[in-house]
Structure 1
């Protein structure tokens, strides 16, 4: 009989205070933009908090905060994490669902390398590959997931419209996968860029889920254009209509 004890949910509230402001000197070979990025990282309270609490990245707090608000993840659920590296979302999902090496409930996929996360099956593979959905389902042992997460984003070019469209496409592909594989009542979370979700994608989500929201979690940097679309209460796949048989006299 499964252990029904609910694991402690990670908390997203409460910023870590470094107490000091770290200044980074410009080094030979380092651009000014790289210096600003490094200084921002060193002084980011979420980066400091992630390091102290053992999360792979500050992005873990985005999922924690989304889950605190929308109650998506539960013990015993199966979860797919698209664009999983470096593994922060996998860590959060594994902890809340109670995923273990002997009963793995979380599967992550990314074309980047990722160090192993306890209780997580990882596929180093591009999700856009034709055989990726089948590989994910095989990794789940043929079981349908209850939650599909996607923190995928195309590498930014600096051109807002281009970046927006590329990331919107990844979200569309992720949403189509979720609609194909989710269990009834399941949830979908994906990164989008400010400007909201494309009309076609929003229509798809509203058609297939009971509730659809946009959220910018507190840990998402205010200057960032990222936000997330959350779809809850998957209505289930509609059975394909049967073809009419030939009628013979």
Structure 2
């Protein structure tokens, strides 16, 4: 039973004889709703030109085109860079960074992912110092670019989802401020109209330029947008 059902359903009354049947009906309805949602997702994937192009071009996900468009607009990728990708699964952004000539790429994600030649990938938590140390061991020095396409699992409750996303962005910004090389760049996914006022102030204190980009590869129906900060200064 979902949390919403738990809140609404108070249990059968003394004179209720059909509660078992009603609960069974609710389970069937909930299962059908999930099935319909899955069908819509599959249909959207099949019709998505970026999904098809990702397969044709050998990218692990359509997200690769988001980073390519962000780079076209902000020029954050360059040859010889040391790059870190936070929340790197399934690996599309790592592929793009290597394609653009990064000399060293390290990534971390809670989910396992298949190896990518030329990248040092760790299955772990960016909040765990030991996992971070294992990831950082894949670089010969401070990163020149830190990427984060991390997104919290959605609950359907806008305020809760917003708070979860803000927490991830704050974590990524704190990581960047601690680890970025002087003059480095930072790019992270944000939602709900962009970066919060407090976080925007913090970014402007540490970077020469800060702006938001909505790549066309990001679905129009998606609330996601990316913050790009360049010219890191301690």
Partner in structure 1 of residue 55 of structure 2: 51
**Are 2:137 and 1:138 equivalent residues in the alignment?**
yes
Identify which of 218, 221, 224 aligns with 1:220.
Answer: 218
Shift of 1:128: 2.1
Other-structure match for 1:111? 110
**TM-score, normalisation: structure 2:** 0.83
Number of the residue aligned with 2:4:
none
Following superposition, the deviation at residue 138 of structure 1 comes to: 2.1
For residue 126 of structure 1, report the CA deviation from its aligned partner: 1.4
Instruction: Check conservation: 1:78, 1:97, Cα contact below 8 A.
Output: no
How many angstroms apart in 2 are the aligned matches of 1:207 and 1:60?
A: 29
Q: Which whole-Å deviations, capped at 9, do the CAs of 1:153-188 have from their partners, x for residues lacking one? A: 111111111111111111111111111111111100
Question: Aligned ranges for residues 194-205 of structure 1 at < 5 Å?
Answer: 194-205=192-203
**Does the C-alpha gap of structure 1 residues 98 and 78 become closer, same or farther in structure 2, counting only changes over 3 Å?**
closer
Alignment CA distance shift 1:229-1:183 (3 Å): same
**The 10-residue stretch of structure 1 (44-53 or 130-139) with the greater mean CA deviation from structure 2:** 130-139
User: Quick one: structure 1 residues 40 and 179, their matched pair in 2 at CA, closer, same or farther if it must change by over 3 Å?
Assistant: same
- On the 8 A contact 1:192/1:227 being kept in 2, the answer is yes
Q: Residue 62 in 1 paired to residue 66 in 2?
A: yes
Q: In structure 2, what is the equivalent of residue 79 of structure 1? A: 83
Q: Which residue of 2 aligns with 1:233?
A: 231
1:126 correspondence with 2:132? no
**Distance in 2 between residues matched to 1:168 and 1:31, nearest whole Å:** 30
Verify the 8 A CA contact 1:210 1:231 in the aligned structure 2. yes
Q: 1:205 to 1:52 in 2, by over 3 A?
A: same
**Cα distance in structure 1, aligned partners of 2:158 and 2:164:** 10
Bigger proportion of residues as helix: 2
Unaligned runs of 5+ in 2: 1-31
Question: Partners of 1:29 and 1:115 in 2: how far apart?
Answer: 32
The 3-state SS of whatever aligns with 1:91 is helix
TM-score for the superposition, normalised by structure 1: 0.78
Partners of 1:190 and 1:98 in 2: CA distance: 18
- Residue 67 of structure 1 and its aligned partner are, at CA, apart by 0.4
Task: Please tell me whether the aligned partners of residues 207 and 232 of structure 2 are also in contact (alpha carbons under 8 angstroms).
Answer: yes
Q: Distance in 2 between matches of 1:37 and 1:162?
A: 23
Note if contact 1:133-1:177 (Cα within 8 Å) is conserved in structure 2: no
Greater Rg by CA: 2
Distance 1:59 1:163 in 2: 21
1:136: how far off?
A: 2.7
Cα RMSD of the aligned pairs, angstroms, is: 1.5
Give the count of matched residue pairs.
Answer: 203
Deviation at 1:190, TM superposition (A): 0.4
After superposition, give the CA deviation of every residue in 1:84-132 in whole Å (9 maximum; x if it has no partner). Answer: 0000000001111244xxxxx0001001011111111000001122433
Distance 1:214 1:203 in 2: 14
- In 1, are the aligned partners of 2:192 and 2:223 still within 8 Å (CA)? yes
Matches of 2:107 and 2:39 in 1, distance apart?
32
